[in-house]
Amino acid sequence: MIHTEGLTKTFTRGKETVEAVKGVDVDVAEGELVAFLGPNGAGKSTTLRMLTGLLAPTAGSARVAGVDVVTRPAHVRQRIGYIGQGNGAGHSYRVLDELVTQGRFYGIPTAEALRRATDLIASMQLDGLEKRTVSTLSGGQRRRLDVAMGLMNHPPLLFLDEPTTGMDPQSRANLWEHILRMRAEFGMTIVLTTHYLEEADRMAERVVVIDHGSIIADARPEVLRLEHAADVITLRFAPDDVGTARSALGADLRFAPAIAQSGDDALLLTLDRGAEALPDILYRLDAAGVRPASATIAEATLDDVFLNLTGRSLREEGAAA
């Protein structure tokens, strides 16, 4: 569905040159749900804008939905849906009219456009606002209308640039439910950008991590966590038991390299698949006659992945969780 080679965008303003996207090679197969994750300014939107034919690349090539975006950008736009960061709806139109017009623009007969618009109004929680002019909507309502507009033509390939930014959790959950339903119904391929770590982790089947214009990792979220981060199990003991516990676990080759002491009453074990390892750990301790006062698992997150790959935290860079 998408194939790029060396996709590059350099912005030049006066003497300043910004290498926004530096030679991105990415393939997306039909039906995939892929999230581009990265901090502000990483180059996510610029990549999406090139893939949607809105921005000409400085170098490199991209085929999207069978069309060369460099030579035929207008053709690409006919085959995709794109929900950008800005508001797409006109200010003075009414919500329902705006959606139906969008459908008509794509050649959908009026009755069908009306049916789809009504369906989207319900699932985007815009009920009761059908006759309101767009300029009177709140920011969150406008965002949901933008998304509804992007879904009117049931595109086989849908690009969403930070679709849920600024939405409350309820609207975010509804939006995802709708997107996943449409995906199942129409076999849509979906590419989105986000800096919500949990969203990328939970919803995307594949996460492409972008930093400073380059792809630094590309895999299923669980694979990224296994390869680039670890779970941490914290075991607390009565201080007298820590030495025994450490020896007991240290005798097991699986756990020995993972153990570190924290304070005088806790052991930290840094390892993969912590939840699966915990029963064996407790069994070992029990066999040595030691019983922890508590055991907690901090599971690896995509933020840990980003931290391990870049030395920086995505959360610290103003990207909300």
Ligand X SMILES: Nc1ncnc2c1ncn2[C@@H]1O[C@H](COP(=O)(O)OP(=O)(O)OP(=O)(O)O)[C@@H](O)[C@H]1O
Residues lying near ligand X in the complex (CB under 6 A): 11, 13, 18, 20, 38, 40-46, 195
Distance in angstroms (rounded) separating the CA atoms of residues 297 and 14:
52
Q: State the minimum distance, in angstroms, from the CB of residue 205 to ligand X.
A: 21
306 alpha-carbon distance from chain centroid: 13
Least Cβ distance, residue 126 to ligand X (angstroms): 25
CA distances from 231 to 182, 201, 258, 307 (A): 35, 15, 10, 14
Sheet with 80-83, side-by-side order of all strands: 80-83, 157-161, 189-194, 33-37, 206-211, 214-219
Q: CB atoms < 10 A from the CB of 249, how many?
A: 22
* Coil, helix or strand at residue 72: coil
Residue number with CB closer to ligand X (44 or 228): 44
Query: Among 179, 143, 177, 141, which residue's Cα sits nearest to residue 159?
Result: 179
Nearer to ligand X, 41 or 250 (CB): 41
Q: Identify which of residues 214 and 244 has a Cβ nearer to ligand X in the complex.
A: 214
Q: How far is the CB of 44 from ligand X (least distance, A)?
A: 4
Q: How far is the CB of 200 from ligand X (least distance, A)?
A: 13
Between CA 211 and CA 44 the distance in angstroms is 9
State in angstroms the smallest separation of the CB of 320 from ligand X. 11
For residue 171, how far is the Cα from the chain centroid? 16
Q: Which is nearer to ligand X, 46 or 164 (CB)?
A: 46
Beta partners for 24?
A: 7
Query: In the bound complex, what is the minimum distance in angstroms from residue 311's beta carbon to ligand X?
Result: 18
Nearest residue (CB) to ligand X, 13 versus 15? 13
Minimum separation from the CB atom of position 24 to ligand X (A): 11
Cβ 164 vs Cβ 190: under 8 Å: no
Q: Least distance in Å: CB of 121 to ligand X?
A: 28
- Between CA 155 and CA 1 the distance in angstroms is 12
Nearer to ligand X, 13 or 131 (CB): 13
- What is the helix (H) or strand (E) element at residue 309, kind and residue range? helix 302-310
Counting Cβ atoms within 10 Å, is residue 19 exposed (0-12), middle (13-18) or buried (19+)? middle
- The answer to whether 54 and 47 have CB atoms below 8 angstroms apart is no
Q: Which residue number, 51 or 271, has a Cβ lying nearer to ligand X?
A: 51
Which residue lies nearer to ligand X by CB, 144 or 195? 195
